[in-house]
Amino acid sequence: MEFLTTEFTAFGGTGILLALFFGTFVSEDVACISAGSLIASHAVDPVPAVAACFTGIVVGDVMLFGAGRIFGRRILESSLGTRFVQERSLERASEWLSRRGFSALFISRFVSGLRLPVYFLSGVLRLDSKQFVLFVAVAAAVWTPLVVGAAALWQMSVPFGAIAGLIIALTVFRYGFRLTDVKRRRILAGRIKRIWQWEFWPLWLFYAPVLLYVIYLSIRYRGLHFTAANPGMPAGGFVGESKDAIYKLIALGESSADQHLLRYVKLSKATDLEDRVRAAVEFLKVNSLSYPAVVKPDAGERGNCVSVVRSEGELRSALNQLKCDALVQEFANGVEASVFYYRYPGDENGCIFSITEKVFPFVVGDGVSTVEELILADRRAHIIADSYFKRNHLRLFSIPRPGEKIALVDIGSHSKGAIFRDGTWIRTSELETPINDLSRGIPGFYFGRYDLSAESFAELSDGNFKIIELNGVTSESTNIYDPRYSLIDSYEILFSQWRIAFDIGLRNSSAGVARASVIDLISLFVSSKRLT
């Protein structure tokens, strides 16, 4: 502003207009705001100032288009270009532009961060140049007077209410364009739904009352007795317990435990990637296992960093991403469920606290819509669309055949998008017996959750299952996520679960089992984050 008024005024009105024109190449917003300030101070007339900014903006947009058309492919194929722009991103931009047509050019003018990549890629994709100029000119003709006018009014003696109203109107106008896009509207609708659908609340928010209740129980019981609930696990299985170590604990117990265990191999993070890949491939070969296989951290939770790999290339990629000890495990095909179990020390038999049926959501193709569009159209899936987009990024723009089912997740984790339902109907004495036998045989285990797989729920009810993993004292009774339970119901279930953990831990600590301290828990938590 000061630069324009002091340096270019000497050249008269023409100099100021040229400064505004070229200034748009540096920053459109600064040039438009400067024009508004100059109009307010009567240094330049409104029409020529707006025209100068408008012309500079359109010329700059055309230059971006031209750069993309002439040099775009060369830039994108260079080492620098491939580092910042992946081929898949280019394909997605092409899909976006082709589906929305030239209206995307108009919309991008009003959505921050879209203009440069969209205009540049329009040139790379060789859109019609005449239509490109028409659309960007119309968009600039709407946008430029609004910004310049708002800046001028701000500098003039205009009532604050009018200025505030104009700013609000401009903000609504600009960001309202986001809602002209179906995808943005559905994602926004999903985020709003999360507010009252507690199932999708962030963990820190949902678990705040549970944390307060655990603190209350710690005061009431005079100590962190829950950390003694499972003497066979560090701090009762508070966090960061090794899946390999727990599997070995299970194998030490009941003689028939092996028939319930999935085959796996542990790979050390200290080993070279190629050696880990060779060891994993050899494990699959020796055990006559084919893809898919599961790759996961030895110490992890809530499905984080868990991958179902379907080729050696995917196996290599998954292992390369894990910077910790990893397990490559046999893939358990069929259905999945969680069984939450507890047993008081000294009792012969324990009790199944809850059973959760895991449902793997899917969308059904119609021969017209892409996977992305099917996710957004689904009444539940669009609420956590970002999660499903991430797990299905390689096929988001494919169009499934009519009637074709597309599974959205392949691991039974609620945080990754699996649906949890109360599975009380699965409970039978045939299931309780092997769960009791296994649990009794595991050294130092009294409280936790089994994640199980079976060929069918009928087979599971008959006691024919495989153990995917076993979690300790901080595992939750996952049936709480069934929509039939209210928020209050879910807290009552969790509070009951924690009271049992403290009761069991108190009995164990009274018998001499050491409890963990707050410092111990913090140390375990920090260590677990470093591992993953």
User: Do 150 and 16 sit in the same domain of this protein?
Assistant: yes
User: Do 291 and 381 sit in the same domain of this protein?
Assistant: no
pLDDT of residue 64 exceeding 60, the answer is yes
Q: Which residue, among 75, 77, 53, has the nearest Cα to 64 in the 3D structure?
A: 75
Kindly state the average pLDDT of the residues 89-117: 63
Q: Which residues contact 505 (CB under 8 A, 6 or more apart)?
A: 221, 224, 225, 226, 227, 228, 229, 236, 473, 513, 515
Query: What is the distance, to the nearest Å, from the Cα of residue 485 to the centroid of all Cα atoms in its chain?
Result: 25
User: Do 294 and 394 sit in the same domain of this protein?
Assistant: no
Kindly state the average pLDDT of the residues 377-381: 92
Domain of 302: which CATH number?
3.30.1490.20
H or E element: which one contains 530? helix 518-531
User: Do 167 and 288 sit in the same domain of this protein?
Assistant: no
Domain count along the chain: 3
Q: What share of the chain has pLDDT > 90, as a percent?
A: 47
User: Do 380 and 317 sit in the same domain of this protein?
Assistant: no
Domain final residue pick, 162, 180, 198: 180
> Whole-angstrom Cα distance, residue 521 to residue 301?
16
Residues in the chain, overall count: 532
Domain final residue pick, 386, 407, 428: 407
Which amino acid is present at 477?
A: S
User: Do 147 and 23 sit in the same domain of this protein?
Assistant: yes
Work out the burial of residue 399: count CB atoms within 10 Å of its CB; fewer than 13 is exposed, 13-18 middle, 19 or more buried: middle
C-alpha angle 482-484-485 in degrees, rounded to nearest 5: 75
pLDDT of residue 479 exceeding 80, the answer is yes
For residue 298, tell me if it sits in a domain: yes
Give the pLDDT band of residue 384 (cuts 50, 70, 90): very high
> Whole-angstrom Cα distance, residue 83 to residue 73?
14
Tell which wins on pLDDT, 103 or 200: 200
For residue 454, tell me if it sits in a domain: no
Kindly state the average pLDDT of the residues 350-358: 96
Outline where DSSP puts E strands in 43-94: none
Q: Are strands 362-364 and 351-359 parallel, antiparallel or unpaired?
A: unpaired
For residue 23, tell me if it sits in a domain: yes
pLDDT tens-digit map of 282-313: 999 999 999 999 999 988 777 778 888 889 98
User: Do 13 and 161 sit in the same domain of this protein?
Assistant: yes
Q: What share of the chain has pLDDT > 70, as a percent?
A: 84
Confirm if 451 and 412 have CB atoms less than 8 A apart.
yes
User: Do 324 and 382 sit in the same domain of this protein?
Assistant: no
For residue 320, tell me if it sits in a domain: yes
pLDDT of residue 276 exceeding 50, the answer is yes
User: Do 159 and 306 sit in the same domain of this protein?
Assistant: no
Q: What is the model's pLDDT at position 91?
A: 56
Q: Which of 106-120, 329-343, 482-496 bottoms out in mean pLDDT, i.e. has the lowest?
A: 106-120
User: Do 87 and 161 sit in the same domain of this protein?
Assistant: yes
Using CA atoms in the order 448, 433, 327, 207, what is the torsion angle rounded to 10 degrees?
Answer: -20
User: Do 161 and 287 sit in the same domain of this protein?
Assistant: no
Residue 130: both structure tokens together: 């005449």
Domain final residue pick, 180, 210, 244: 180
Which CA distances in Å does 389 have to 301, 393, 417?
21, 5, 11
Segment of 63-67, 102-106, 129-133, 449-453 carrying the highest mean pLDDT:
449-453
| CB neighbour burial string for 14-40, b if at least 16 within 10 angstroms, e if fewer | eebbebbbebbeeebeebbbbbbbbbb
Q: What is the model's pLDDT at position 2?
A: 47
Confirm if 378 and 365 have CB atoms less than 8 A apart.
no
Give the pLDDT band of residue 12 (cuts 50, 70, 90): low
For residue 482, tell me if it sits in a domain: no
Count other C-beta atoms under 10 Å from residue 101's C-beta.
12
User: Do 311 and 400 sit in the same domain of this protein?
Assistant: no
Q: Which domain range does residue 169 map to?
A: 2-180
Tell which wins on pLDDT, 62 or 86: 62
Residue 118: both structure tokens together: 């969209």
pLDDT tens-digit map of 194-237: 888 899 998 889 999 999 999 999 999 999 999 999 999 999 99
For residue 214, tell me if it sits in a domain: no
Kindly state the average pLDDT of the residues 310-320: 89
> Whole-angstrom Cα distance, residue 528 to residue 471?
14
For residue 526, tell me if it sits in a domain: no
Residue 419: both structure tokens together: 């649906």
Residue in the block written with tokens 């190449």? 25
For residue 419, tell me if it sits in a domain: no
Outline where DSSP puts E strands in 408-527: 419-422, 447-454, 466-471
